[in-house]
Structure 1
Amino acid sequence: MTETADDLSAPLGRDKPRRKRRLRLPFTAMQLLAVLLGLFLVSFAGFAIFNKDPLGGEPMTRLAIREPNAADKAGDDKPAAAGHGQDSKQESKQETKDAPKQAGEQKTVTMIDGSTGMRHDVVIGGDAAGKSETAAASAPPPVMAGIDPKLLEKSRYGMIPAVSGDLKPFNVYAADADRAKAAKMPVVAILIGGLGVGAAKTTDAIMRLPAAVTLAFTPYGSDPGKLAERARAQRHEIFLQIPMEPYDFPDNDPGPQTLLTSLSADQNMDRLYWHLSRMQGYAGLTNFMGARFIATEPAMQPIIREAAKRGLGFFDDGSSPRSIAPQAAGSQAMPFGKGDIAIDAVPTPAEIDRALTKLEAAARERGVAVGTASALPVSIERIGAWTKTLGDRGILLVPLTTAMLKSKSS
């Protein structure tokens, strides 16, 4: 009715003004935002599902791998006894070229925790060898020069000693000595331990001490096999030190793969094989620390049996008065020796000289005596000076194996 009245009262000849219509979208702004968000999520999901490079954006390195030439193939065909396992065939030649070994560099080895079966990697090298862990692994050490391949057996960790017929590592790798002369006069033997970690002190012991001094290497170090090979080249006989549990473990920790009284015989045997594979050419084993382990018969007996089975001797450094090693070795009829005097228990020149004098007296009294020492500069200096006049005093310096055989026969 109002609209009709307006039309009648409007002046003639004038059109009625029309209302402007607003443009209305078929959806709201919130609906548009929801649609866009949905499309984004769908696109992202499709990218994640169908993209062939789900790690796109991560740093990448591309290496060119060339076909091996004839020389490479010839090298790959060498047997494992030459010191190269299957893993070493796959090492990058570019890596070998760009990353030459440096003196004292650290390597790592993958270890199996004997108690849990878990794998982890530990640093082998430097003066802190065996105490650090890292995320890399190294190949087994190569077979050393002058090693009889018939006296080696392959294990999961590398080559370890073995008996071949009448050949035993103890006899084959014992240093030359005048045993007929040694049977007629008092003899002393000296074992220098802790070698293989720290190339400088190891080289000092190798070069400055007489060949008749026996050298014991720990399994830790960047390349203990190379240093042991150098020692053998200088006519030293070598022993391998096996880390064993002390009474104050773990406050006093010998290092990775330590033999423990809390582990089963199989678990300790697995750890022993790792140690045995670190080098070759040793005549026997000796304990590294281990006052608790060497005094625990259920733990120690399997280790002695295994050493005897593999044709090795065993030397007890004498640090544990409750050691059962003499009885265990006697039951296996294997070569055995025990340390009489720790020469550098007090590492001063006067005390070292006093200990050496006691060692002479023990040799005259019993016919044979064995002293132990570390590769401290003062120890090497005083022992080196003492050995120069030892023969003048009617005592013969002999390798440890000779002293062990004389002790067994006397």
Structure 2
Amino acid sequence: SISALSGICAILRFWPIVIGGLAVSQTGTQAAIAKLPAEVTLGFAPQGNSISRWMQAARQRGHEIVMQVPLEPFDYPNVNPGRNTLTVAATPDENLKNLRWALSRMTNYTGVMNYMGARFSADAAAMAPFMAELGRRGLAYLDDGSSARSLASDLALKDGVPFIAGDTSIDAVQDRGAILKKLDELEATARAKGFAVGIGSAFDLTVDTVSSWVIEAKKRGIEIVPISAVAVDPEKG
């Protein structure tokens, strides 16, 4: 309840919400940028259209942005993140070429976020050159938290890459009540550890639900922040 939360507002300071999949749907992207509060971080899909124009619109509205990079999931290619996916079977040079293609699609992003990638992120030989490249470029890495086998945290530490781990997907079920329940779970996580990171996609229902929820959350003293505010910096840690 709101009254029960009033006493613990002080520790609910850091709460990133990341909405990915921008630039895939033109109308969906426009709605997400227009409706979501500036504190919400936006993730762009490199396969999207007019990506530089949308990036500029997002930055003008104050959003921090990340570039989503397609990484190989289990059951690939039956489950396919899209063209230029980084794969376990590819050579490091081939993967770096695909990574650089994604990174060249726009500018002004804080870091990189995986799109799928459960198999890729669990393979040290594939993941190490990828993370080293991010380190060379000074980019953060956001792991969406969907795979418990991800090696991203350890490799990020090794390569000096600021790291953020997502706590939960908020919209795996496209239902307003289910999304609100996930946001409530994140609130409990934030109480327990001081911050929580929620990951969603730019579906109309998600955008509308998150937009209205953030307004109410702010009234309860919850501060929504960009992902850079909670990144673990190996240089300082």
RMSD: 2.0
Q: 2:214 aligns with which of 368, 387, 396?
A: 387
Q: Counterpart of 1:314?
A: 141
Equivalent position to 1:243, from 64, 70, 76: 70
Contact 2:163–2:233 (CA under 8 A) maintained in structure 1? no
Superposed CA deviations along residues 307-339 of structure 1, whole A, max 9, x for unmatched, are 011010000001111000000001122210011
CA distance in 1, matches of 2:234, 2:54: 29
CA distance in 1, matches of 2:96, 2:21: 22
From 171, 184, 193, give the equivalent of 2:20. Answer: 193
1:219 aligns with 2:54: no
Change (3 A) 1:326 1:341: same
Take 2:130 and 2:101, find their aligned partners in 1: how far apart are those partners?
Answer: 13
Match of 1:297 in 2: 124
Verify: 1:263 aligned to 2:108, yes or no.
Answer: no
Counterpart in 2 of 1:168? none
Instruction: Please tell me the residue identity of whatever aligns with 2:128.
Output: Q
The alignment-based identity, stated in percent, is 41
For residue 391 of structure 1, report the CA deviation from its aligned partner.
2.4
Aligned pairs, how many? 229
Q: CA shift at 1:381, angstroms?
A: 1.1
- Displacement of 1:392 after TM fit? 2.6
- What amino acid does structure 1 have at the position aligned with 2:163? F
What amino acid does structure 2 have at the position aligned with 1:189?
Answer: P
Matched residue of 2:196: which SS?
strand
Match of 1:340 in 2: 167
Which residue identity lines up with residue 93 of structure 2 in the other structure?
D
Equivalent of residue 353 in structure 1, options 174, 177, 180: 180
User: Following TM superposition, by how much is the alpha carbon of 1:217 offset from its aligned partner in structure 2, in angstroms?
Assistant: 0.2
Matched, 1:403 2:227: no
Q: For 2:12 and 2:95, how far apart are their aligned partners in 1?
A: 41
1:276 to 80, 103, 113: 103
Deviation for aligned residue 1:267: 1.1
Helix, strand or coil: the match of 1:249?
A: coil
2:67 maps to 1:233: no
Structure 2 Cα separation of the partners of residues 398 and 408 of structure 1:
21
Report the CA distance shift for 1:407/1:352 in structure 2 as closer, same or farther (over 3 A). farther
Compared CA separation, residues 275 and 352, structure 1 to 2 (3 A): same
Q: Please state if 1:331 is matched with 2:181.
A: no
Q: Output the TM-score relative to the length of structure 1.
A: 0.54
- Work out the CA distance in 2 between the residues paired with 1:245 and 1:190: 24
Displacement, 1:400?
A: 1.1
Which structure 1 residue ranges, 5 or more long, are not aligned?
1-182
| Counterpart in the other structure of 2:4 | none
Give me the whole-angstrom Cα distance separating, in 2, the residues matched to 1:342 and 1:221. Answer: 22
Mapped contact 1:336–1:408 kept (Cα < 8 A) = no
What per-residue deviation string (whole Å, max 9, x for no partner) do you get for residues 82-113 of structure 1? xxxxxxxxxxxxxxxxxxxxxxxxxxxxxxxx
CA offset digits 1:229-274 (Å, max 9, x no partner): 1111111011000001010101011111110100111111111111
Is the counterpart of residue 252 in structure 1 residue 79 in structure 2?
yes
Moved over 4 A (4+): 405-410
Note if contact 2:12-2:190 (Cα within 8 Å) is conserved in structure 1.
Answer: no
Gap change, CA 1:318 and 1:298, over 3 Å in 2: same
Q: Give the AA of the match of 2:53.
A: K
Q: Deviations over 1:106-150 (max 9, x none)?
A: xxxxxxxxxxxxxxxxxxxxxxxxxxxxxxxxxxxxxxxxxxxxx
Highest relative contact order (Cα 8 Å, sep 6+), 1 or 2? 2
Q: Aligned partners of 2:137, 2:233: CA distance in 1, in Å?
A: 21
Q: How many Å separate the matches in 2 of 1:232 and 1:405?
A: 23
| 1:21-40 correspondence runs (5 A) | none
CA contact (8 A) 1:368 1:406 kept: no
Which structure has the greater CA radius of gyration? 1
Q: Deviations over 1:280-327 (max 9, x none)?
A: 111100101111001111000111110011010000001111000000
Match of 1:268, SS?
Answer: helix
Give the distance between the partners of 2:93 and 2:234, measured in 1 at CA: 32
Rounded to whole Å, the distance in 1 between the matches of 2:21 and 2:218 is 27
Aligned pair partner of 2:202 in 364, 368, 375: 375
